[in-house]
Amino acid sequence: MSINKLDQIDHSLLEILQSNGKITNAQLSKEIGLSPAPTLERVKKLETSGIIKSYHAQIDREKVGLGVMTFVQVSLAGHRKAVSEAFVEKISKVPEIIECHHVTGSCDFLLKVIAKDINSYQKLIMETINEIEEVASTQTMVILSTFKDTQVLPVP
């Protein structure tokens, strides 16, 4: 097995596949200027090496009736490891929480949360998140509009 040394072609592949995960191998090979066989071989290598983790369909939040997205800054009651672990454990079961990051700064965790509307968001925050005993306080930032939200990371 070869080592992870990405050349210019691999970078192009990653960039294209990040923005279009459903491109056909034939089309992909044209865009990078190789024949299908080595193109496929490179993509497979990126997949098996774990550089490409997965493929996802992106759906339109608004169109499926998820009109509200927020960031929630969470401060925990205490900072022992067990407290964090208990919190994370409970958070992981809530499907409306689509991101949960442990962060530096004035709060402990930052969550990204989606909901149908403000009412169901309020219900979620009051009856689910604030009810978690490890949570000391929360502060919500409601997203008014999103100007950029790309899946494409600039591979260095």
Residue 36 interaction partner, one of its own copies, DNA, none, beta carbon < 5-8 Å per kind: DNA
Q: Does 26 bind its own copies (CB under 8 A)?
A: no
DSSP summary character for residue 134: T
Residue 56 interaction partner, one of its own copies, DNA, none, beta carbon < 5-8 Å per kind: its own copies
Closest CA to 113 of 123, 103, 100, 126: 100
How many residues contact its own copies, by CB under 8 A?
63
Q: Residue 74 corresponds to which amino acid?
A: V
Could you tell me which residues come within 8 angstroms of residue 73 by beta carbon, excluding any fewer than 6 positions away? 106, 107, 109, 110, 138, 139, 140, 141
Give the sign of the dihedral formed by CA 114, CA 118, CA 121, CA 125.
Answer: positive
Residue 52 interaction partner, one of DNA, its own copies, none, beta carbon < 5-8 Å per kind: its own copies
Closest CA to 66 of 102, 31, 95: 95
| Choice between 37 and 98, CB closer to DNA | 37
Q: Does 76 bind its own copies (CB under 8 A)?
A: no
> Which residues here bind its own copies, judged by CB under 8 A?
4, 6, 14, 17-22, 49-61, 63-66, 71, 88, 91-92, 95-105, 107, 110, 114, 116, 139-156
